[in-house]
């Protein structure tokens, strides 16, 4: 199992804490890079030498929202290859459809219970860590 | 000369004189006879001529119209002669009784008859004189009379002859046609539809009042004008022209077009046109019926506008519901995470009561989240506009029974095979799920029983879900379908479930109601359109 470089794009501080805590409590070696919004994420992604293996993207963000960000990502020749998994509360069918239309690698609903969240994150990271990925 | 000779000559001369005288006398007598005879002949001749003239005048009419009723009468109306057809028509026979033609005319015809008779005397004939006659068998006919006078040798009128025709039915038909004609004229004049007649060059030949009112022009202003040039608004000129050409090939059509009235206002018309033919079936122009639909059109445009606004606001509402639910759920998740961490981080430091309070926080969070989910669901029903498909309810229910939490002591019975209905599968599942889980929730008996049944009606299926639970007091029967009307404060009840049920039933054009007795149980009934 490889160690993943994960870019988490999330404006909610506690959500960020949740991922970090889940990863550490699961004793996983993955690298989590945080971006609080789309702009910040784009800045991080400017560095083509250190691109993340996967992106975890929240849909509800101020300024550039998740779907807009996704569109920017998919229109970039290099960035479009990074598997992007939506991590959201939105069970809106339209959002789901639109995301898959633009191109996503997964759509995960944030559960209410933290334990359920840990369970989902564990599976998600485990899956991507056994995948062959295009690395920079 | 000898005396003897002279005597002989004298006697001979005397004889000769006497013979000449006798001859003269005979001649005179003969010539008197001849004169008398000539006089006699002359008189006879004149008599004959008179008869011939009478007969001629009389016969001429008779032979020309022998199949019609024919009557000869004197100038006082007494019938002198009538043919078989006349006897059949009137029922009277001049040979049997004295029969006066004036006497059988209807009373109200007196003036009419008198004036016509005067006209007959002065003009010598009358044609197409109509009057009501009462025949012998008591029926009244409408008779058409063509009559002429009969003159004697001195050109003095002595009688009248006439042809009588029964035009009662003809008259009735004509009246009926006339009435119909008037009726249609009235309709055309008073209908709110504009009617015009166009000749082959599209010139207006006739326009009714409504058409004039619709255009603002007078009939005089319209007659002779080319309709398709005068009236259509610039944008629709081509359309109207196209349709006119179509009509020329014998095709009827109906279309909407914009028209400018005399004031220059834009009006919407519904125009219906058809070719107009003459007796020989040749197209001689067209007839157009127009209806001003501006108000309807405006309403329609308004409706379309409103609908698109409604759709937009529905969409917005749908989005809004999702955003709100996201924004409300996020803090709940965070609280849950924080509480979990507090528990984890202080594993051995928390006492029993604190742990229990944490558990309460978690339950409350769950309920809160459920509430948000339900509200979202409620507000989403009917907003996605999914098409209705055939849904096999047997599959839906058997799936449901598998996934629903049904305690050991509760038995679900489905005595009949359930039908396949048209609808939204997910929503129908939700409908049954809410009703069944409601039933399960409120069963308080040691042996719970839920019966799902169906009755087929003409255009609906009527479903029923019966439980032997706590029942619902009648005064709440109306209230329970209203949102947030949870009758029982329970941690697993948000008060939205039945509102969702009602909304789904509404969506399937059905009704929902219930029968219930407290402590005995409840039956929910609902219908779904086939």
Domain ranges of chain A: 5-64+71-129
Per CB-CB distance under 8 Å, the chain A contacts of B381 are none
User: Which CATH number do you get for residue B265?
Assistant: 3.30.450.20
Choose the final residue of a domain: B274, B292, B310: B292
Q: What is the pLDDT of residue B319?
A: 78
Mutate to test the interface with B, among A113, A115, A117, A118 (most CBs of B within 10 A): A113
Residues B228 and B331 in one domain: no
Question: What is the pLDDT averaged over residues A63-82?
Answer: 90
Radius of gyration of chain B (CA): 55
Q: Is residue B184 part of a domain?
A: no
Of chain A residues 59-118, which have a CB less than 8 A from chain B? 60, 88-93, 95, 110-115, 117
Q: What is the pLDDT of residue B178?
A: 87
Q: Is residue B485 part of a domain?
A: yes
Mark out the alpha helices in B280-388 (DSSP H runs): 294-345, 352-380
Residues B509 and B424 in one domain: yes
pLDDT digits (tens, 9 = 90+) for A111-127: 999 999 999 999 999 99
- Asked if B146 and B129 count as a contact pair (C-beta separation under 8 A), the reply is yes
pLDDT tens string for chain B (530 positions)? 567 788 888 888 888 888 888 888 888 888 888 888 888 888 888 888 888 777 776 665 554 556 788 888 888 888 888 888 888 888 888 777 777 888 888 888 888 888 888 888 888 888 888 888 888 888 888 888 888 888 887 888 888 888 888 888 887 888 888 888 888 878 777 777 888 888 888 889 888 888 888 889 988 888 888 887 888 888 888 888 888 888 777 788 888 888 888 888 888 888 888 888 888 888 888 888 888 888 888 898 899 999 999 888 888 887 788 888 888 888 999 999 999 999 999 988 989 999 999 999 998 898 888 888 888 877 777 666 667 788 899 988 888 888 888 888 888 899 989 999 888 888 888 899 989 988 988 888 889 999 999 999 988 999 999 999 888 888 888 778 876 666 565 555 667 788 888 888 988 889 999 998 888 899 999 999 88
Q: What is the pLDDT of residue B142?
A: 87
Chain A nearest CA to B328, separation (Å): 10
Choose the final residue of a domain: B145, B173, B201: B173
User: Which CATH number do you get for residue B455?
Assistant: 3.30.565.10
Element (H, E) at B178: helix B168-190
Encoded tokens for B489: 């404060």
Domain spanning A5-64+71-129: which superfamily?
Answer: Response regulator (3.40.50.2300)
Q: What is the pLDDT of residue A55?
A: 95
Determine whether the interchain pair B326/A93 forms a contact, defined as Cβ–Cβ distance below 8 Å: no
Closest to B58 measured CA to CA, from B76, B72, B38, B78: B72
- Cβ pairs A/B, distance under 8 A: 50
Chain B nearest CA to A50, separation (Å): 31
Q: Domain range for residue B6?
A: 1-61
Closest to B516 measured CA to CA, from B440, B402, B439, B410: B439
Contact residues for B131 (Cβ-Cβ < 8 A; gap 6+):
B105, B106, B109, B112, B113, B116, B142, B143, B145
Determine whether the interchain pair A112/B365 forms a contact, defined as Cβ–Cβ distance below 8 Å: yes
Output the CA torsion B287→B292→B298→B303 (10° steps).
Answer: -70
Is residue A101 very low, low, confident or very high in pLDDT (cuts 50, 70, 90)?
Answer: very high
- Asked if B126 and B161 count as a contact pair (C-beta separation under 8 A), the reply is no
Q: Is residue B21 part of a domain?
A: yes
Mutate to test the interface with A, among B330, B339, B376, B380 (most CBs of A within 10 A): B330
Per CB-CB distance under 8 Å, the chain A contacts of B336 are 112-114
Residues B310 and B407 in one domain: no
Residues B524 and B414 in one domain: yes
Q: Is residue B151 part of a domain?
A: yes
Q: What is the pLDDT of residue B487?
A: 58
Q: What is the pLDDT of residue B486?
A: 61
Residues B394 and B525 in one domain: yes
Q: Is residue B181 part of a domain?
A: no
Residues B195 and B119 in one domain: no
DSSP state of A2: P
- Asked if B284 and B199 count as a contact pair (C-beta separation under 8 A), the reply is yes
Q: Is residue B207 part of a domain?
A: yes
Residues B132 and B238 in one domain: no
CA–CA dist A11, B199 (Å, integer): 77
Determine whether the interchain pair A114/B337 forms a contact, defined as Cβ–Cβ distance below 8 Å: yes
Count of domains observed in chain B: 5
Name residue B455's beta-bridge partners. Answer: B462
Choose the final residue of a domain: B380, B404, B421: B380
Q: What is the pLDDT of residue B332?
A: 92
Element (H, E) at B529: strand B521-529
Residues B417 and B519 in one domain: yes
* Contacts of range B491-494, beta carbons closer than 8 Å, 24 or more positions apart: B491/B363, B491/B367, B492/B367, B492/B370, B492/B441, B493/B441, B494/B367, B494/B370, B494/B371, B494/B374
**Cα angle vertex B409, ends B406, B414, to 5°?**
65
* Contacts of range B58-63, beta carbons closer than 8 Å, 24 or more positions apart: B58/B150, B58/B161, B61/B148, B61/B161, B61/B163, B62/B161
């Amino acid at each position: 199992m490889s160690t993943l470089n994960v870019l988490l794009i999330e404006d909610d501080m506690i959500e960020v804490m949740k991922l970090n805590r889940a990863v550490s409590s699961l004793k996983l070696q993955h690298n989590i890079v945080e971006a609080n919004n789309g702009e910040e994420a784009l800045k991080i992604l400017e560095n083509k030498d250190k691109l993340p293996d996967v992106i975890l993207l929240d849909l509800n963000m101020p300024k550039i929202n998740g779907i807009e960000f996704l569109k920017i990502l998919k229109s970039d020749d290099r960035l479009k290859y990074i598997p992007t998994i939506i991590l959201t509360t939105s069970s809106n069918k339209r959002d789901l459809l639109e995301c898959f239309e633009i191109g996503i690698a997964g759509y995960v609903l944030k559960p209410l219970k933290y334990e359920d969240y840990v369970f989902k994150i564990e599976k998600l990271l485990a899956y991507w860590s056994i995948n062959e990925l295009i690395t920079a | 000369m000898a005396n003897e000779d002279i005597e002989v000559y004298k006697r001979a001369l005397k004889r000769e004189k006497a013979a000449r005288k006798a001859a003269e006398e005979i001649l005179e007598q003969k010539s008197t006879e001849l004169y008398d005879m000539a006089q006699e002949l002359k008189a006879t001749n004149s008599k004959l001529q008179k008869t011939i003239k009478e007969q001629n005048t009389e016969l001429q009419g008779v032979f020309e119209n022998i199949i019609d009723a024919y009557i000869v009468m004197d100038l006082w109306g007494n019938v002198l002669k009538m043919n078989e057809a006349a006897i059949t028509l009137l029922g009277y026979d001049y040979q049997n009784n004295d029969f006066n033609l004036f006497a059988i005319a209807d009373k109200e015809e007196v003036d009419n008859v008198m004036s016509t008779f005067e006209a007959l005397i002065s003009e010598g004939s009358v044609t197409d004189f109509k009057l009501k006659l009462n025949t012998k068998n008591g029926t009244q006919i409408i008779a058409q009379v063509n009559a002429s006078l009969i003159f004697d040798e001195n050109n003095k009128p002595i009688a009248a002859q006439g042809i009588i025709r029964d035009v009662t039915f003809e008259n009735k038909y004509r009246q009926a046609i006339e009435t119909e004609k008037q009726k249609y004229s009235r309709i055309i004049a008073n209908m709110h539809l504009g009617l015009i007649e166009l000749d082959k060059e599209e010139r207006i030949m006739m326009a009714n009042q409504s058409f004039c009112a619709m255009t603002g022009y007078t009939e005089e202003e319209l007659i002779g004008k080319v309709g398709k040039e005068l009236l259509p608004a610039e944008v629709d000129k081509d359309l109207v022209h196209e349709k006119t050409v179509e009509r020329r090939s014998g095709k009827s059509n109906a279309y909407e077009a914009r028209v400018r009235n005399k004031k220059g206002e834009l009006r919407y018309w519904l125009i219906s046109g058809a070719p107009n033919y003459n007796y020989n079936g040749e197209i001689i122009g067209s007839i157009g019926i127009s209806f001003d639909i501006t108000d309807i059109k405006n309403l329609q445009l308004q409706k379309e506008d409103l609908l698109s606004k409604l759709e937009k606001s529905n969409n917005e509402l749908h989005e809004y519901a999702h955003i709100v639910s996201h924004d409300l759920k996020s803090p709940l998740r965070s609280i849950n995470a924080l509480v979990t961490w507090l528990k984890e981080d202080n594993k051995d430091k928390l006492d029993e009561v604190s742990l229990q309070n944490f558990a309460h926080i978690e339950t409350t969070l769950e309920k809160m989240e459920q509430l948000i989910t339900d509200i979202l669901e409620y507000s989403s029903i009917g907003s996605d506009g999914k098409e209705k498909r055939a849904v096999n309810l047997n599959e839906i229910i058997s799936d449901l029974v598998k996934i629903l939490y049904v305690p050991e002591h509760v038995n679900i019975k489905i005595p009949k095979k359930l039908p396949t209905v048209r609808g939204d599968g997910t929503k129908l599942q939700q409908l049954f799920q809410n009703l069944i889980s409601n039933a399960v929730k409120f069963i308080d008996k040691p042996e719970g029983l839920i019966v799902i049944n169906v009755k087929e009606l003409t255009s609906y299926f009527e479903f029923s879900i019966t439980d032997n639970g706590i029942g619902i007091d009648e005064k709440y029967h109306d209230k329970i379908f209203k949102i947030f009307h949870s009758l029982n404060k329970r941690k697993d009840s948000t008060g939205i479930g039945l509102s969702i049920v009602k909304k789904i039933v509404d969506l399937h054009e059905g009704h929902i109601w219930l029968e219930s007795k407290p402590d005995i149980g409840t039956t929910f009934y609902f219908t779904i359109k086939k």
